[in-house]
Amino acid sequence: MSKQEDFRFRYAPQKGTEDAYLMAYLMKHGLSERRDEIILPALRAFWLPFALKAGNLNKEIVKKCGLKEVSNLAYQIDVLRHDLRLPIPPSILQKGGEIGEHSSKKNADKPVGDIEPEDTDKITYSQKSDMLIKFGGL
């Protein structure tokens, strides 16, 4: 049986700041009971691939982890865009475009719900899952 490492995080944001609102929201939604569900996925999505790479793990393991965490970040981006009705950022790769270039500039400032289906080449979650499985990301 392996020993556990004990990590503690204490944070006291100044009242009225964005961080204070964030922490209040998380506490209201069960942070103390569900910290592994709330904090660890965010930390993993942002930092786990870098940590594995720095740990000199097998490159394929690092790539699989990177694909999984990119998928998790993409899902969260979709949730934010849908819930807040945010426009598609110009940096998102679209069919026929290149990274950093939006192929449908006319939609760049439209909320997600206002974009016509024929204007984008949307990939369903099922298709995304199939792609990740094919490339070893799941």
pLDDT, one tens digit for every residue, the chain (138 residues): 678 888 888 899 999 999 999 999 988 888 878 888 888 999 999 999 999 999 999 999 999 999 999 999 999 999 999 999 998 776 664 544 443 333 334 444 444 344 333 333 444 545 444 544 444 443
CA distance 40 to 62: 18
CA distance 30 to 15: 20
How far are the Cα atoms of 29, 35, 55 from residue 2, in angstroms, in the given order?
Answer: 32, 22, 19
Full-model pTM? 0.60
CA distance 25 to 13: 13
For 87, the 3-state DSSP assignment is: strand
For 111, the 3-state DSSP assignment is: strand
